[in-house]
Amino acid sequence: MKVIRTVNEMVEIATSVKANDQTIGFVPTMGYLHDGHAKLIDQCRKESQIVIVSIFVNPLQFGPNEDFERYPRDEKRDCMIAESHGVDYIFIPSVEEMYRDNSSIKLQVVERTNVLCGRSRAGHFDGVVTVLAKLFHITKADLAFFGMKDAQQIAVVKAFVDDLNFSVKIRPVPTIREDDGLARSSRNVYLSQQERADAASLYSSLKVGQHLIIDGEKNPVMIIDEVKKNIHRHTNGTIDYVEILSYPDLKAVTVINQQIIIAIAVNFQKARLIDNLVINEHGIIVRDPFE
């Protein structure tokens, strides 16, 4: 595995790979890799001849009161994990390398952002698509792999590449969970011991909603109410949102008769956790919502 730190070197390598007609798979990350990232890399390895992973904590997607400075970082550990999972190149640029001058162009996402996390994080997804536009061009990726834990992000990215005719294909990968159901996240390290125990109830609350749909409940208001009750009953966290929306369009629904997402966000003392299930109208989990 080779560590790359400059845009020019990464472009040169990617250009050489493409000249040899090799498929480039790409996993964009903000580092502090865990098993969820490893699953993305493993899937990328299965589908690609060359695997590139980026580690870049993107300041453009953090708000003024968010955790950019204290976001966990451990480059040495990340490189060890990446190499052990067969990564060919790991791209670790500095902020100065990625954003050298004041940009003349700004990207703005106008759909799929006024719900879920996007409602309280103005400009967040503008920052996401800006850095991905650069990374897709720099790595010349054929395939890009994203975890379904960040389902809103994938929905936005899919619209972004479709609308702007990027050639990269978006590959969603199911959420990786702990044995008790908690979604893997770099922010889980912020949880206290009691919060960590309580956090397992987020997934079980989503399952309550899923089973209501399986049992024939079609009213999203009723399902949301039961999901909230389960979260309140089993955690001391503060609910940010519980929503049911069409997926990937992320529009409000009055009856469940199509593919939907049940999504939640809960604030604990030092961490905000998100989770979701994407299911069809019968309550069955959908593995690839873009098929």
37, 85, 124, 211: the catalytic one is 37
31 labelled ligand-binding: yes
184 labelled ligand-binding: yes
34 labelled ligand-binding: yes
Q: 287 by DSSP, 3-state: which?
A: coil
CA trace torsion 27, 158, 57, 138 (10° rounding): 60
The closest alpha carbon to 178, from 192, 164, 159, 197, belongs to: 197
CB 191 within 8 A of CB 270: yes
150 labelled ligand-binding: yes
Q: Classify burial at 32, counting beta carbons within 10 Å of its beta carbon; exposed 0-12, middle 13-18, buried 19 or more.
A: buried
33 labelled ligand-binding: yes
32 labelled ligand-binding: yes
CB 242 within 8 A of CB 260: no
Catalytic residue status for 137: no
37 labelled ligand-binding: yes
Tokens of 31: 């580092």
107 labelled ligand-binding: no
CA–CA distance, 123 with 114 (Å, rounded to integer): 11
Residues known to be catalytic:
37
Binding residues: 30-37, 61, 147-150, 153, 176, 184-187
Binding residues for (R)-pantoate: 61, 153
Binding residues for ATP: 30-37, 147-150, 176, 184-187
